[in-house]
Amino acid sequence: MKLFSGLFCYDWSSSNNVVYYLHIFSNKIASQQYVGSMMKKVVACMLVALALSGCKTSPTGRTQIMLYPEQQMDEMGVASFDQIKSKQAIESEKSSNQYVSCIADALIAQLPNKYASQKWEVVVFKDDSANAFALPGGKIGVNTGLLKVAKNQHQLAAVMGHEVGHVIAQHANERVSQSSLLQAGLQVSNAVMQMNNIEYRNTIMQGLGVGAQVGIALPFSRSHETEADIIGLELMAKAGFKPIGAVELWQNMEKLGGERPMEFLSTHPSPDNRIQRLNNKMHSANSLYQAAKQQGLSPNCKM
């Protein structure tokens, strides 16, 4: 993986290259006190390179870092979906498949052209968990367990719209890019401390790993979930599904119960916060829904 900064191209995928670039500075490091300053400079350089190499803008206007070509992500999505199909039982009941496909078709018709023109594959899996997912490359999976929690087409459209929202916002690319950069940052920190024989290096590295996960990775995932909620809400409304179905769906999810980790340590927003944010967007979503009705968009998907 290469990151570009100014006139320099750093290949962070090679640990030898990392050590080589750090070695340039080794003669300047005379004490442990310098390491903190040095690490800050290294991280700053990485951030500059990052900003110059893969900045994009999400559908909601958020700045994103994406280092991988869309075609590569599509290929990964297709391969992953094929693997899932080979391992999980697929629902053969015609009514369930037609119901889910009906909702998917209505949502896909409202996507930006490059996604709407794709050939999408929609599969219902025999799985009791209330879950659904969408992958780059035009793949949607819905578990039979979700059909028991999403009581009508509007509620199911909320979940499917959310999952498709992850795809059109290229969240998978962002997550893979983030993971690569996170590993590179930890390698740099480890190399700096190793060169200077820092005491408790292993303990410090473990702490950095946990800190990065809580401070960077998890909040990033929560921001994806919130963004997908917004995209999904707008998408379902444009397709002619009632936006209130999104709130009702998460109320159903909340009733399922079970212990949940506090939001700070969870990759997903809590249902309460999710419902509140959806309600905050309900006025604009209802406007989109009314506009869809005026255009004659009124899905009638039933099992």
Residues annotated as catalytic are: 163
Q: Which residues 6+ apart lie within 8 Å of 266 measured at CB?
A: 218, 222, 260
* Token couple for 182: 């996170």
* Token couple for 187: 């390698």
Task: Identify each DSSP E strand in 127-186 by its residue range.
Answer: 132-135, 139-143
Question: Residue 235 and residue 288: Cα distance in Å, rounded?
Answer: 9
Question: Residue 117 and residue 119: Cα distance in Å, rounded?
Answer: 7
* Token couple for 211: 């800190």
Question: Residue 95 and residue 92: Cα distance in Å, rounded?
Answer: 9
Query: In the block, which residue shows the tokens 């916060």?
Result: 273
Selection from 102, 12, 103 nearest residue 49 by Cα? 12
* Token couple for 232: 């999904």
